[in-house]
Every structure is written in C-alpha cells, then in structure tokens.
Amino acid sequence: MSSPALKKTSNEAPILAPAPARAGVEPALPKKAPPVRRIVLIVLALVVLGFAAKYGYEYITVGRFQISTDDAYVKADTSLLSAKVSGLVTESPVANNTAVKAGDVVLRLDAKDYELAVASAKAKLASQQAAISVFAKQKIAQAAQVAAAQAQVQSARAVELNAALTQQRASQMVKTNVGTQQALDDANRARDTTQASVTAAESNVAAAQAQMGVLEANEQQATSVLAELQVALEKAQHDMSFAEIRAPFDGVIANRAVAVGQFVQPGTNLMALVPVQKSFITANFKETQLVDIHPGQKVAVTVDAFKDGKFEGVVDSVSPSSGAEFSLLPPDNATGNFTKITQRFPVKVLLSSEVSMKLRPGQSVSVDIDTRDKGGN
C-alpha cells in the first residue's frame, strides 16, 4: 500500500505531495528585517548622500576652478661659494648642515703673502708722498729764485734808464760843443751795457719761471704715481680681505668640498650655501593649464613630507619658455617624424618665511591654484 504523501503515475517519477497541515499549527511567514538593521542602512545611505552632496558642492563651487599638479618641487637660489684668491686653507670653522648669518667667516686662507703685499704697497706709498713733499719745498725755493731774478730785472732797468739819460746829455753837449766825443762814446757804451744787463736779467727770470714749470710738472707726475700706488694698496688690501671667505647671506652650509691644509685656486668651489628661509616652489604645469594662471593668485601647497599639513603660497611668475627649451639638447621637431607631446612650463610659487624654514630644497610637493582669483592681471 502506497504512502498518502506520494503520488505516482505510469512512467513518471514519484512527486512529493505537500503534507497535510497539522491541526492547530499555522503556516510559517517570511521573516522581516530587524528594525535596527533597517535604521543602520538608512543612516549609511544618508551619510553617503551627504558626502556626495558635499563633494559635489565643493566641486561645483571650488574644485572645478582648481588647477593642480604634483610635478612640483621645493627650490632655493643656492650659492656655490668659491675662492677669489689662491692660498692654503688654514681654518674651516663651519661644518655641513650648519646655519650661518650673512658676514660669518666660513673659511680662512693663509694671508701672510697678502699681508706682505699690503706692507710693501704702504711703503711705496709713503716714499712717493715724501717725494711729493720734496717737490713742494723745491717749488718754494724756485719761487724765491724767480723773485730774485725779477728784482735783478728791475735793478738793471734802473741802471739802463740812468745810462740812457747820461747818453742823451752827452750827445746834447757834443752838439753844443760843450762836451767831448770821448764822453759821448763812454755814455753810448754804458747805455749798451745796461741794455744787455736788462736782457740777461729778463732771461734769468724766464729760466727761473721755466724751472718752476718743470718742478710743477714733476709734482703732477709724482701725484699721478701716488694715485697709482694708492690703488695698488687698495688692491692688496682687497686681496687680503678675500683670505677670509664670508657668507653673503643667511643660510645653511652644505656640500663642503674643502679641508684644512688644502691649497685652493681662484674659482675653486668650496661649499654650497642654501637660503632655506627664502625657498620657493617650482611647479611644472601643462601648457593647456597656463591660460588661467596669473601672478598673485593664491596657491594651496601640500608637501609630501607633511601629509597632514597644507601651506599657503602665491604665484610669483610664469616661465617665458618651457623646460625643454632650456635643456642641453632642445628637441628639433622640424626634422624627421613628429610626435606631439604636451609641454610643461615652470611656475614659481613664493612662500612665507615661516613656511620656507620648514621645507628643504628638493622636496616633492603638490600645488593647487585657485583660478577664481585673477591675481595681479
């Protein structure tokens, strides 16, 4: 006898029939989700919608106006300190990574040779000054000789005048047969002699004045030599001052390449001085992003070394040429096959001194420029 729960037809597999419901038992209903789970799902949905609305609003109001790049680095106008004069390094008081102030001595060379050069220049200068003093005294003496010669001229002219008057009287007396011819001849001779004396005295005056001119010319020449010696002294003192290499500005010493006992020549690179307090950012933007970038715009800077911190900067300038134009071998797209590549242009971003002190040249950063601010243009 077959079971009442199974029905079977010919050539068919048995089919399981539903069991009759037991008396007093209700059929099971589908389970409903607990109220807590439903609330959590609703809250999560609201949070997601809130964040989506927030970021959507930020994109519409701010984000779409931001121009960003992560091809940006901290830079500084690093100075490579070098020697201007040759010498043996006697002291290197500053080590690498040491902060220095403008004017601090960072290296000393042996200055003995330059001190001797200064002493020699001073001695030559003093000798020339003494020579000029001699010329001054010679001019005083020569002026006295000129005055004496001029006095002799006046005396000779007085004698000449007296001789001329005597000659005139002798001539008149001969004409009136009062005087003798001998007296007239003596008077003529005396007149001629006094005239010659006047000429000689005037020649002495001219010679004395010419000698005064020679002394003045020599004095001028000596004064010119004195000026040259003064310049030589200043140069010797200038060279001696370069025996001490000083920091030209505030910064940090790095990459020192010299040690005590080393002999350096002019132009030898000694060390680098990095002005960390004046560091800036060079951000390389695509050429398609430059249209809306102008000096004066505010910049948000994110430094890789400070993941949780953002700094504020300002656009200083945009490079007049792409980086490829300043490379050692600029590309020449006028020959051969051509592949168009989007070029990048450096944009200089300035930072405050407080921010600059926290950064180091070479660090990677990301920048965002707010193009809503038209800057100085």
Is the pLDDT assigned to residue 256 strictly greater than 80? yes
Is the pLDDT assigned to residue 286 strictly greater than 80? yes
Report which of 265, 270, 263 is spatially closest to residue 245, judged by C-alpha positions. 270
Contact between residue 209 and residue 146 where contact means Cβ atoms under 8 Å apart: yes
Q: Dump pLDDT digits (tens) for 265-276.
A: 999 899 999 998
**pTM of the shown model:** 0.62
Q: Is 297 helix (H, G, I), strand (E, B) or coil?
A: coil
- C-alpha to C-alpha distance for 150 and 117, rounded to whole angstroms: 49
Task: State mean pLDDT over 284-288.
Answer: 91
Q: What is the model's pLDDT at position 3?
A: 45
Q: Dump pLDDT digits (tens) for 48-61.
A: 888 777 667 565 65
Alpha helices in the chain (DSSP H): 35-61, 112-175, 181-241, 353-358
Q: What is the model's pLDDT at position 39?
A: 83
Q: What is the model's pLDDT at position 55?
A: 66
Q: What is the model's pLDDT at position 6?
A: 43
Is the pLDDT assigned to residue 46 strictly greater than 90? no
Exposure letters 212-226 (e unless 16+ CB within 10 A, then b): beebeebbeebeeeb
CA atoms within 13 A on the CB side of 355: 19
Q: Dump pLDDT digits (tens) for 80-119.
A: 999 999 999 999 999 999 999 999 999 999 999 999 999 9
* Higher per-residue confidence, 127 vs 336: 127
Count of beta carbons in the 10 Å neighbourhood of residue 281 = 27
Q: What is the model's pLDDT at position 2?
A: 43
Is the pLDDT assigned to residue 244 strictly greater than 50? yes
Q: What is the model's pLDDT at position 301?
A: 92
* CA end-to-end distance (rounded Å), the chain: 103
Q: What is the model's pLDDT at position 16?
A: 47
Burial class from Cβ neighbours inside 10 Å (0-12, 13-18, 19+) for residue 159 reads middle
Q: Dump pLDDT digits (tens) for 156-167.
A: 888 878 878 877
Is the pLDDT assigned to residue 35 strictly greater than 70? yes
Q: What is the model's pLDDT at position 180?
A: 76
User: Where do the domains of the chain lie, and which CATH numbers do they carry?
Assistant: 66-77+275-332+339-370 (2.40.30.170), 79-111+244-274 (2.40.50.100), 112-241 (1.10.287)
Is the pLDDT assigned to residue 29 strictly greater than 60? no
Task: State mean pLDDT over 131-137.
Answer: 88
Percentage with pLDDT > 90 across the chain: 40
Task: State mean pLDDT over 177-192.
Answer: 77
Q: What is the model's pLDDT at position 1?
A: 41
Q: What is the model's pLDDT at position 339?
A: 77
